[in-house]
Amino acid sequence: MWDLKNKTALITGGSKGIGLACVAEFAALGARVIFTGRNEDVLKKEETRLKKKGYKVIGVAGDVTLDSDRARLRDAIEKNFSSLDILVNNAGTNIRKATTGYKEEEYRKVIELNLMAPFELCRICFPFLKISGKASVINISSVAAIVDDHTGAPYGMAKSGILQMTRSLAVEWAQHGIRVNAVSPWFTLTPLTEGLLKQPEKIDPVLQRTPLRRVADASEVAAAVAFLAMDKSSYITGHNLVTDGGMSINALL
Residue 42 has a pLDDT of: 96
Residue 193 has a pLDDT of: 81
Residue 251 has a pLDDT of: 85
Which active-site residues does the annotation give?
155
Residue 201 has a pLDDT of: 86
Neighbours of 88 (CB within 10 A): 31
Residue 1 has a pLDDT of: 77
Residue 197 has a pLDDT of: 84
Residue 117 has a pLDDT of: 98
Residue 118 has a pLDDT of: 98
For residues 188 and 147, the answer to whether their CB atoms sit within 8 Å is no
Task: Report which secondary-structure segment, H or E, holds 22.
Answer: helix 17-28
Residue 196 has a pLDDT of: 78
pLDDT values of the chain reduced to their tens digit, one per residue, 253 residues: 799 999 999 999 999 999 999 999 999 999 999 999 999 999 999 999 999 999 999 999 999 999 999 999 999 999 999 899 999 999 999 999 999 999 999 999 999 999 999 999 999 999 999 999 999 999 999 999 999 988 899 999 999 999 999 999 999 999 999 999 999 999 998 887 888 788 888 889 999 999 999 999 999 999 999 999 999 999 999 999 999 999 999 987 7
Instruction: Tell me whether residue 92 is exposed, middle or buried, using C-beta atoms within 10 angstroms of its C-beta: 0 to 12, 13 to 18, 19 or more.
Output: buried
pTM above 0.75, yes or no: yes
User: What does the buried/exposed string (b/e) look like for 18-43 if buried means 16 or more CB atoms within 10 Å of the residue's CB?
Assistant: bbbbbbbbbbbbebbbbbbbbeeeeb
User: What does the buried/exposed string (b/e) look like for 93-119 if buried means 16 or more CB atoms within 10 Å of the residue's CB?
Assistant: ebeebeeeebeeeebebbbbbbbebbe
